[in-house]
Amino acid sequence: MEKSTNNIGIETRRQVLSFSQIRRWPEFGVILAFLILLIIFSIFSSKFLTLRNITGILTIVSELGIMAIGVAFLMIAGEFDLSVSSVYALSGFLFVTLANRFSSPLAFVITLSIAAFIGFCNGTITLRAHIPSFIATLGMMLLLRGSLLAVTGGESVSYSSDVIMPTILTRFIGYGFRPSHIWFLLLTLLFSLVLTNTRYGNWVFATGGKKEVARAMGVNINKVKVTNFMLSSLMASLSGCIVISRFNLANASFGTGMELEAIASAVIGGTFLTGGYGTIIGVFFGAFLMGMMRTGLVMIGAPAYWYQAFVGAILIIAATINLKLRRLEM
């Protein structure tokens, strides 16, 4: 009798433990939300779960997601980058202009280098001037966007160069799939690996978690931050080049407001606004959720304008749920 009671006790504890283990996955919340939305959209629109629609969503998601990965990686190190949307537009413009004059691979390399330099400036300004990165990159965002508008006068330029980079970046490869989908997936896996399984990833967590501790334990926090600022800019630039290769047209107003969508993707994916915590797989699903809502809402017959309202609502709900889940754990 005594023995059997004990067994029951152990059984129950195991079940509780296994549920708590699932719940402890940092991506738990966002994957749950992702599945719920997927089911809702599939029920209300028969065309939602078709290959054509899925690949269409993937195209938008990849472009937002690549930017969001960079933004989240920097957020985990405890800093913001609002300038990504302007870097995105500037990169598109530079890429087209340079490719039309020289060749697309050269244009691509130069564009990424300039983006990395902008990221370096963001980091250096933030650290040297001791101003919050939110302000430093807000300034950079306005500065770049304004310059771009002033220089181009709002005129678009169209792409008329070789097909090398566009093919590598985004030309169709069959069944509606594009290389950008693969890039997004590979970059997700790469950044995820770096974050969770390298020394550098551990330093990123520590720098965002408590920079004084990280410094005391021998981590060069300034180097970590500047590196992440550069990565954030690079990813935004890559995303800009992809979009322009798809549209064959660059305009100075491209990507306005996209920085907030990228931050929203990161937060929905479980990244802490305060830094020190987050996962790249979560960001992947966060970006997916955003892209899915954009098309899904239209397909179930809601006016396109509702998109922003839904993003706002989901963002608030996701941030609340994520915080609650972390509280249970900490």
Partner 1 sequence: MQEITPLAKMVDIDKNFGAVQALKKVNVEIRSGEILGLLGDNGAGKSTLIKILAGVFPSDGGEIFFEGERVNFSSPKDARAMGIETVHQALSLVDVMSISRNFFLGREPTKKIGPIYLLDRKKMDGECEKAVTGLGVRVRSPNEFVSILSGGERQAISIGRAMHFKVKLLILDEPLTALSVRETKEVLRQIEKARDSGVSVIFITHNVYHVYPVAERFVMLDKGIKIGEVYKKDASPEDIIEIIATGKMPETLKS
DSSP 21-32: HHHTSTTHHHHH
Site residues for partner 1 per CB under 8 A? 193, 196-199, 201-203, 205-206, 209-210, 212-220, 272, 276-277, 329-330
Q: Measure Cα distances from 279 to 86, 311, 324 in Å.
A: 25, 20, 17
Rounded least distance, CB 267 to partner 1, Å: 16
> Rounded to whole angstroms, how far apart are CA atoms 86 and 106?
21
Rounded least distance, CB 319 to partner 1, Å: 16
> Rounded to whole angstroms, how far apart are CA atoms 70 and 162?
28
Nearer to partner 1, 119 or 278 (CB): 278
Q: How many CB atoms lie within 10 A of CB 260?
A: 15
Asked whether the beta carbons of 252 and 93 are under 8 A apart, the reply is yes
Find, among 286, 304, 271, the residue nearest to 26 by Cα. Answer: 271
> Rounded to whole angstroms, how far apart are CA atoms 281 and 195?
11
Rounded least distance, CB 29 to partner 1, Å: 16
Nearer to partner 1, 6 or 197 (CB): 197
Nearer to partner 1, 58 or 219 (CB): 219
Nearer to partner 1, 12 or 147 (CB): 12
Nearer to partner 1, 111 or 279 (CB): 279
Nearer to partner 1, 33 or 214 (CB): 214
Rounded least distance, CB 324 to partner 1, Å: 15
> Rounded to whole angstroms, how far apart are CA atoms 115 and 70?
12
> Rounded to whole angstroms, how far apart are CA atoms 77 and 326?
18
Rounded least distance, CB 194 to partner 1, Å: 10
DSSP H helix total and E strand total for the chain:
14, 2
Rounded least distance, CB 283 to partner 1, Å: 17
Coarse DSSP helix, strand, coil percentages of the chain, rounded to the nearest 5 percent: 75, 0, 20
